[in-house]
DNA sequence: GTCTATATTCCGATAGAC
DNA sequence: GTCTATCGGAATATAGAC
């Protein structure tokens, strides 16, 4: 049962995907959510409050779709799980697009906003470590430092490719192909062990 | 001889590096350039015009410092020139920081701004082709499609690493190390020819 | 070409009725 | 809790003198 707040947050995620964090206008959000502007201020205090809650909302949702799998799906090999985790972010679905857009906005905003830096650096580190762990399962004989470096490269590349996709400089199939090639190359470099 | 337009564009690059594309106010730009706001509209028609011309200006300038070398420097091997070209963008100097910041902003803005997309896609393509040509000189036996794919990955990775650096998620030395590793890996994958 | 002064538009935020 | 109506400030853009 979607509460009014949730309904507004869902609308906010859509508006941010369409206009960006800086392009979010309270009036447009109100129209998208089908409520009055006054109601938004009633629930969220001010525009910044909307932004804060929306970014929480989006990152919670992202964690869900990244982690969740159907219980009756066949278990994946470590390599497939690695590929799945990385390629999941290169899909043209509403959820992924909204999430990637928000992530790109956060990354770009953090360049000018001290406050965002720490949270974003921590989230990045967690993500890198998760990928490094998957690499460790595929190539257990390689040293941890090599896993870490490869994970940093793969995740940074993914961010770069996402931005190119969202900014219309490349297509999803092409980005996926490039990402897949990078995974193969990194695994090769980590040895056939 | 810096014309008025150039003077304004240089100021725009500085303001964008400080506040971002989103944070660029015509009034602040006028103050930074030491001119009136009216003059900016006279030369650039509107705010979007400033942004577009600044993108051109920045990518031209980047090409210059990427390409220029002192005539009496010893000639580089193709491989060194490739590494030099890519690692040049990971340096903590005013010029590189300004360019990278502006580039990141333009990339992020293009996600929501149709007008910027075409120019940015074209500039990206030129850059990718330049890197692909360098790869072709290092690995002449590999197919052009492989050069192109590797160039896309290396440049996208560089964009990702730049953003991490600028947003405080990694350091320049570390980013350079990662970039260097990626160059090695891509060249290995292209064969020892 | 460049300025000062000002018009115009947009947008966040609030007051007050229901 | 929700709406209608509106205010006030900030930013873009223009008019007109020099």
3-class secondary-structure state, position A68: coil
How far from each other are the two terminal CA atoms of chain B, in whole angstroms? Answer: 47
A87-143 per-position pLDDT tens digit:
999 999 999 999 999 999 989 988 988 878 888 899 899 999 999 999 999 999 999
Total domain count, chain B: 1
| A181: chain B residues, CB-CB within 8 Å | 149, 153
Backbone angles phi, psi at A131, to 5 degrees: -70, -40
User: CA(A114)–C1'(D9) in Å?
Assistant: 26
Q: Is the CB of A87 under 7 A from strand C?
A: no
pTM score = 0.93
Query: How far apart (Å, rounded) are the C-alpha atoms in residues B25 and B37?
Result: 10
Rg of chain A over Cα atoms, rounded to whole angstroms, equals: 19
Q: In terms of CA atoms, which chain B residue is nearest residue A180?
A: B153
Q: Do B19 and A112 touch (CB under 8 A)?
A: yes
- Confidence at residue A55, expressed as pLDDT on a 0 to 100 scale: 87
Burial B82-114 (b: 16+ CB within 10 A, else e): bbebbbebbeeeeebebbbbbbbbbbbbbbbbe
User: Nearest Cα to B164, choosing from A154, A87, A97, A25?
Assistant: A154
Query: How far apart (Å, rounded) are the C-alpha atoms in residues B193 and A91?
Result: 36
Q: Do A121 and B159 touch (CB under 8 A)?
A: no
The answer, yes or no, to whether residue B22 has pLDDT greater than 90, is no
Return the structure tokens found at A166: 């969202």
Q: Which of B120, B152, B155 sits opposite A167 (nearest CB)?
A: B120
Q: Which H or E element spans position B152?
A: helix B144-166
Residues A149/B178, Cβ–Cβ less than 8 Å: yes
- Confidence at residue A66, expressed as pLDDT on a 0 to 100 scale: 78
- Confidence at residue B1, expressed as pLDDT on a 0 to 100 scale: 62
Q: Which of B112, B121, B125 sits opposite A23 (nearest CB)?
A: B112
* Residue of A153, A155, A162 to mutate, interface with B, max B Cβ within 10 Å: A153
Each residue's pLDDT, cut to its tens digit, for chain A (193 residues) gives 689 999 999 999 999 999 998 899 999 999 999 999 999 999 999 999 999 999 889 888 888 877 788 888 888 899 999 999 999 999 999 999 999 999 999 899 889 888 788 888 998 999 999 999 999 999 999 999 999 999 999 999 999 999 999 999 999 999 999 999 999 999 999 986 5
Query: How far apart (Å, rounded) are the C-alpha atoms in residues B156 and B192?
Result: 24
Q: Which of B19, B108, B125 sits opposite A104 (nearest CB)?
A: B108
Query: How far apart (Å, rounded) are the C-alpha atoms in residues B122 and B132?
Result: 15
**Cβ contacts of B65 within 8 Å, gap of 6 or more:** B88, B95, B96
Those nucleotides of strand D lying less than 7 Å from any protein Cβ are 1-6, 11-16
User: CA(B42)–C1'(D18) in Å?
Assistant: 16
Q: Is the CB of A36 under 7 A from strand D?
A: yes
How far from each other are the two terminal CA atoms of chain A, in whole angstroms? Answer: 50
The residue range of the domain holding B108 is 4-191
- Confidence at residue B154, expressed as pLDDT on a 0 to 100 scale: 98
> What's the pLDDT band for B193 if we cut at 50, 70, 90?
low
The answer, yes or no, to whether residue B65 has pLDDT greater than 80, is no
CATH number of the domain residue A152 falls in: 1.10.357.10
Return the structure tokens found at A79: 């390599």
Q: Which H or E element spans position A12?
A: helix A4-19
> What's the pLDDT band for B73 if we cut at 50, 70, 90?
confident
């Amino acid at each position: 049962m979607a509460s009014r707040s949730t309904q507004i947050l869902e609308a906010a995620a859509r508006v941010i995907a369409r206009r960006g964090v800086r392009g979010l206008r309270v009036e447009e959000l109100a129209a998208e959510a089908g409520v009055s502007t006054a109601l938004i201020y009633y629930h969220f205090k001010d525009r910044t409050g909307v932004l804060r809650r929306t970014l929480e909302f989006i990152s919670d949702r992202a964690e869900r779709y990244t982690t969740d799998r159907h219980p009756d799906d066949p278990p994946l090999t470590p390599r497939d799980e690695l590929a799945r985790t990385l390629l999941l972010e290169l899909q043209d679905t509403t959820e992924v697009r909204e999430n990637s857009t928000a992530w790109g906005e956060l990354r770009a905003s953090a360049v000018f906003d001290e406050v965002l830096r720490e949270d974003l650096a921590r989230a990045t580190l967690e993500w890198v470590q998760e990928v490094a762990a998957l690499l460790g399962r595929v190539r257990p004989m390689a040293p941890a430092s090599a896993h870490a470096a490869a994970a940093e490269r793969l995740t940074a590349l993914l961010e770069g490719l996402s931005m190119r996709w969202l900014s219309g400089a490349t297509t999803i199939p092409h980005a996926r192909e490039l990402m897949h090639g990078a995974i193969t190359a990194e695994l090769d470099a980590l040895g056939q062990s």
